[in-house]
Amino acid sequence: MRKLVHDLLPPEVCSLLNPAAIYANNEISLRDVEVYGFDYDYTLAQYADALHPEIFNAARDILIEHYKYPEGIRKYDYNPSFAIRGLHYDIQKSLLMKIDAFHYVQLGTAYRGLQPVPDEEVIDLYGGTQHIPLYQMSGFYGKGPSIKQFMDIFSLPEMALLSCVVDHFLGHGLEFDQAHLYKDVTDAIRDVHVKGLMYQWIERDMEKYILRGDETFAVLSRLVSHGKQLFLITNSPFSFVDKGMRHMVGPDWRQLFDVVIVQADKPSFFTDRRKPFRKLDEKGVLQWDRITRLEKGKIYRQGNLFDFLRLTEWRGPRVLYFGDHLYSDLADLMLRHGWRTGAIIPELEREIRIINTEQYMHSLTWQQALTGLLERMQTYQDAESRQVLAAWMKERQELRCITKALFNAQFGSIFRTFHNPTYFSRRLVRFSDLYMASLSCLLNYRVDFTFYPRRTPLQHEAPLWMDQLCTGCMKTPFLGDMAHIR
């Protein structure tokens, strides 16, 4: 097996999985891009993980002090290794789970509170199936009356707090309304942002919380030097953005951007025509004059995309916009307005480093080999073969658990279930032309570079799969029998 892996996947292959690379879902030539747009949080400004326990602790204290939740909740601390981005939460069942691209729950990844829910119970909860009809339960933006998808990085402390509160209530036998508990936790997390607590923490210690500021400056400067136009659309307030950009870029940061829009209220900014643009003066005070053009060096608040397109005439594929939230930042721009989009996925760097490990490759190759062997063994019906089949199925399941734990012990990779892409991956492919770990990845490519998606074979296009090679099966199963079928 080790020799087979070496022959099929030589050592140099792993070095091609570069955490600093940009990955393409769709062909795009930067030569054709004239205008670059950016979100702020987790796009221009990358934040350290140290921010998450601060959000968790503040929201936990709000629940106790303002919503009168039990004091016992204060014993819970933030666990950075518990949840991953892209999970779904069934509000009525208090169930946090990972769902694949075909709406199936990945067994072994469903949690109520901090405890795993047995696979049999999960299947029973959904009427004897792993399949969840998300179109009945969740809206376009991952929000619905029954199921919510956690899509941004700020949701990591929210999922952790939600699970801890449910764990406390269940552990102490306290009755609770699942919908009320979910709303209270969500509101407590929202209060941390609305009250400006997160902004205060970051402003007090930017060296601690803001990462890669020099790289952000390098990206922006390089684009401007090549004649590109830049704009910023963010939901954050101007005072916060101004201090962060001064820290990363310098006091003249506004001269790099042709348009700056703050407190945009995305995603409604992309769909609601009613909110007009308002100009802010140098002190951040709202002005009352009617906006007839968007000027360089000025700051604008709210507005809507339709007025933005009318005033700038930045339309279609010559615009490339970067953001971290697949729904709030990217979905409407790609589907309704034809902009090209780039997703910033910080988790990508860690996941690629795990994929590059020998342990991952060993586990994956054995799973593929066992899958091929299982397919072959199904043609034999004697008792000995059935025993071998059962042993191999057990070993494959154990290898799957090992592979999952390499990424996250509870939920595995944010991009893949055992066989299929996750629902998060499905949305990533649908709503982004490019994706990368950070904006600084642009520094590794020329400004006229063309990205091509890898052509991967469809199921019916691949003549030789890994499992066929591993089992020595170089012919189609049952081909002899099929020859007699007309």
Catalytic residue among 7, 32, 39, 481: 39
Q: Is 39 a catalytic residue?
A: yes
- In three-state form (DSSP H/G/I as H, E/B as E, the rest C), the secondary structure along 154-223 is CHHHHHHHHHHHHHHHHHCCCCCCHHHHHHHHHHHHHHHHHCCHHHHHHHHCHHHHEECHHHHHHHHHHH
Q: Is 481 a catalytic residue?
A: no
Cβ neighbours of residue 262 closer than 8 Å, sequence gap 6 or more: 234, 235, 236, 237, 238, 241, 280, 299, 300, 301
Please give the single-letter amino acid code of residue 23: Y
Catalytic residue among 7, 32, 41, 214: 41
CB neighbour burial string for 370-397, b if at least 16 within 10 angstroms, e if fewer: bbbbbebbeeeeeeeeeeebeebeeebe
Cβ neighbours of residue 205 closer than 8 Å, sequence gap 6 or more: none
CB neighbour burial string for 210-249, b if at least 16 within 10 angstroms, e if fewer: bbbbebbbbbbeebbeeebbbbbbbbbebebbbebbebbb
Whether the upstream peptide bond of residue 267 has omega within 30° of 0, thus cis, is: yes
Please give the single-letter amino acid code of residue 349: E
Rounded CA separation 437/432 (Å)? 13
Angle CA 434–85–196, to nearest 5: 100
What is the DSSP pairing of strand 319-323 with strand 299-302?
unpaired
Catalytic positions are 39, 41
